[in-house]
Structure 1
Amino acid sequence: MQPRKILFAIAVLTSTGVFASDQSTKDFGTESAVAKAMAAQRSGDIASDKEQHLSGKARVGTYKRYVESFAQPIPQSFVDTSFSDKK
């Protein structure tokens, strides 16, 4: 791309607010359904009073995966190459 086109594109994008850092977040207020649902979730008012248990088979499988996760050392870094063409 030519430098003039790049500068023009930057000028257009910044003037339209694409890169504007002063973008306000949507205020749902305290009476909206979203605000009420979030408040109920935070307070625990709609939480079940019954304990929820896993079946024996699911519990054993979950614990087995948990214990097996400690068999491998934690790597210093992680590089995901599964999307590359190199093998």
Structure 2
Amino acid sequence: MQESYRFVVTGRVQGVGFRVATRRKAQALGLLGWVRNCPDGSVEGLVAGASFEAVMSLRDWLRRGPPTAQVETLEWRAVDAPVADDAGFVVRR
């Protein structure tokens, strides 16, 4: 069973392509999950993958985000939440 991680990123992370860039990075790493904007201006998501190194690589990337973002904080924690295997990594609205 893969461990799942929930993340919340704050800063200038909406309106800068953060969700799409996160999806691209996660897909390139072979990860599953989702990412979405929150009403408070943060971005949250759920990620899982067979490779712990790939999951940690995404975590490291989230600390910086795409070049247009300014990440202030990254909250990251393991959660007991399954990620659908058939959906890949998607942007939620």
Same fold per superposition (TM over 0.5)? no
Higher relative contact order, chain-length normalized (CA < 8 Å, sep 6+): 2
Q: Looking at CA atoms only, which structure, 1 or 2, has the larger radius of gyration? A: 1
As a proportion of its length, which structure holds more helix? Answer: 1
TM-score by length of 2: 0.19
